[in-house]
Amino acid sequence: MRSAWLTAALLVFVLAVSNALAGQIPRGGWPNANCLSRCLFAFKAEPIGSSVTLAGDLGSEAYPLRMMFVPSGDAQVILEGGQEIARLLKKQTGLHFVTSVATSYAAVVEAMGAGKVDIGWLATFSYVLAKDKYDVQLLLIVDRFGSPFYRGQIMVGAKSGIKGLEDLKGKTFAFVDPASTSGHIYPKALLAAQGHDPDNYFSKSVFAGSHNAVVLSVMKGEVDGGATYDDARAAVAKSFPDVYDKVRVIAFTKNIPNDTVTARKGLGPGIMERVKEGLKRLSKTPEGSKVLKQVYGISGLVDLDAFFDPVRQAGRLLRLDPEKSSP
């Protein structure tokens, strides 16, 4: 009797699972052991760090959206600002977020490609790489001072005697990161456009890791010149007010599309729309405007991929293959 009861209970359970998981049961009959195993474990909750969650739960307290920022400036400022953005964005959208600052520009791109990050605040060339490699979805473009564009700049020590790009040949130089548009790609493209070989132009070049670090390296005389966005000196002026006297700008790049807020491939359109609209509303509030400016110097967030064609052209000029480039 007990055996018959257990058998009946098992059949009811299997029928319930098969109804809940339409398509899991083969047309030919009851599931085999492998299929039943898949059915039984289909409801197993994934850990928060996993790239797979139940669509209905994503953005909940148990399964928060994962948002990552590039380390373009002071990492601690970006970390604290990112946490504040998450708090304010939750108020605007009802969605929960966890935030982090990547160790490099490449880390954000690869994390999004692996499905480990849902929303990435990507620098310009990082977005181009992520779009080409992983088909990420553009949500918003950063606005600064009423423009979706900015420039890169090349700086030298004020007392170095260096007056132009030609004087930098054979000198030491600091870039930001291999995937930094204003702090690497466009400055090299500027040299290439003037007939120079940017990979052999300097006696030594280094990647300092952030725009702030490049400015400080030039100011302290650790390198002869460096490349950053225009004008990165302002980010360190509070701690080093004499930076404008010690560091001089000698050249600017062409206009560059601003950085982006981007969603990973496969993120639900409903969630993407809520995040996008929530960020736009957030950027217009006093609290949101303040924290966006603190984190990345952002004045606003706007909708707009054709803006990134000049970046692709710079990549082609330097013969950068998105399939082979390390972002």
Q: What is the pLDDT of residue 217?
A: 98
Share of the chain above pLDDT 90, in %: 68
Compute the average pLDDT of residues 300-316: 78
Contact 308, 123 (CB under 8 A): no
pLDDT in tens, 9-37: 433 333 343 443 333 333 333 333 333 33
Cα–Cα distance measured from residue 291 to residue 9, given in angstroms and rounded to the nearest whole number: 57
Contacts with 248 (C-beta within 8 Å, 6 or more apart), sequence order = 155, 156, 157, 158
Contacts with 193 (C-beta within 8 Å, 6 or more apart), sequence order = 317
Q: What is the pLDDT of residue 324?
A: 61
Contact 266, 115 (CB under 8 A): yes
- The amino acid that residue 259 corresponds to is D
Cα–Cα distance measured from residue 31 to residue 217, given in angstroms and rounded to the nearest whole number: 65
Structure-token match 């520009």, residue found: 105
Domains of the chain (ranges, CATH numbers):
65-145+258-317 (3.40.190.10), 152-254 (3.40.190.10)
Angle between helices 186-193 and 309-317 (to 10 degrees): 60
Residue 149 burial (CB count, 10 A): 16
Contact 186, 254 (CB under 8 A): yes
φ and ψ at 72, to 5 degrees?
Answer: -75, -20
Cα–Cα distance measured from residue 277 to residue 272, given in angstroms and rounded to the nearest whole number: 9
Res. 50: pLDDT tops 80: no
Give me the residues paired with residue 227 across strands: 154
- Radius of gyration, CA atoms only, the chain: 25
